[in-house]
Structure 1
């Protein structure tokens, strides 16, 4: 698991870049796993110096002292300790919306950055685009269910190994539509990480369309289905201008 490092003491802080400055005081220095560095003094919420997602971060820590250098492009933040009053390292994760707990370990589950993550173990369940995590849990494993629209709404487990979304979409839409180029059935398949409606005549016919996040509506002028999505109606063929 990632960790946040915290240092406190009498420090000299120098910043070179958009506005050169040097400051000294009893401050708290926070170094995050993404190489963001924050230097806080006694007042306000705004750090007195910072560098966000530095290209490089070097921390040297010895008995009674520490030093830090962070660089991003032509900007450099340097912290040198004159007197150390404390130092610590703490486990850290992204903060997210609570969505229950793991049924086996009791580990808190949070939704963040397109995933559901177990806070203590770091176990991650990647979510499809547009998925909504539900209050209900899976009858088989106890993890939360998610609602996903891929032609129709499906409620499946967030653990794709437990209840694969692809299987539900195949059961509903495999062979439902015809290839506009050769007339062969369009099969539901996953290729290069994408869920597709691809021509059954492949490789002779390479026609394939990504399934959008939405629900099937009427037929498009071209004969393919339209999808009602969060951005409005669109054809299965994203390049089609029909409605």
Structure 2
């Protein structure tokens, strides 16, 4: 179910007191917004900024009946208190995250939006995490109906948004498992995974603990050390971000002329 935004309005006295000796009292017909994370905002008729606010306070309480209300938000030594002498509105409204539209939820037909590093349904609020650097394409998965994504991990992979349907880790493993040798002991580098991360680790672990994170980018060359060179959003680099031989062979990641 969507989260709720509380909206209260009326002729109010607004008082703020804080640990920095800031004391302020205002009076007017205002609107009080209490967001799902308890952020409390007090807006008047002027401009877009609230006249007072507390971001994610420790606690928020609302007291009163239909004719009046009192909102008290506390965060450490700061207190925001709104006392309505006359209430004109008090409602709880459904709200969701806003983001870039990327498709339709196959489960409930609600709108899918990209919000930060996730894709979220604006109706059922189902959420799917995106790998770092991934983009959502216009394609749709034939199996589940979710959007397809484009992500670079050594090469370009086009996968379903749901990792349970098509796994980035499986795709990288199929392509790059045992392709390169460990520069420290010569054993095969194996594709391994951790939450939110795909990396290469020495096949002789725990005797050899060499590991390398696979960056967002594509393999475009070989480094003198024997590891691959990646074209990334910030330029070319060896898989080993500390590789001295790559720095020697290039000028700050750029081939010497």
Q: Tell me how far apart the structure 2 counterparts of residues 11 and 73 of structure 1 sit (CA, whole Å).
A: 24
The one of 125, 138, 141 aligned to 1:122? 125
Q: Alpha-carbon deviation of 1:28?
A: 0.7
3-state SS in 2 of match to 1:238 = coil
Q: Over the residues paired in the alignment, what is the CA RMSD in angstroms?
A: 1.6
Matched residue SS, 1:129: coil
Residue of structure 1 in register with 2:5 after alignment: 4
What secondary structure does 1:172 align onto? helix
Number of the residue aligned with 1:68: 71
1:137-182, Cα deviation, whole Å (9 max, x unpaired):
1121111000000000100010111111111111110111101111
Q: Is the 8 A contact 2:31 2:42 kept in 1?
A: yes
Higher mean C-alpha deviation, range 54-63 or range 218-227: 54-63
| Selected match of 1:181 from 181, 184, 189 | 184
The separation in 1 between residues aligned to 2:141 and 2:244, in whole angstroms, is 40
Gaps of 5+ in 2: 247-257
2:137/2:149 contact within 8 Å kept: yes
Tell me the distance in 2 between the aligned counterparts of 1:24 and 1:242.
Answer: 68
Task: Please show how residues 54-203 of structure 1 align to structure 2 within 5 Å.
Answer: 54-203=57-206
TM-score, normalising length: structure 2: 0.89
Aligned residues: 243
Is the CA contact 2:131–2:196 (under 8 Å) kept in the aligned structure 1? no
CA distance in 2, matches of 1:85, 1:50: 20
In 2, are the aligned partners of 1:235 and 1:242 still within 8 Å (CA)? no
- C-alpha contact 2:108 2:123 (8 A) present in aligned 1: no
Q: Distance in 1 between matches of 2:62 and 2:244?
A: 56
**Separation (CA, whole Å) in 1 of partners of 2:191 and 2:235:** 23
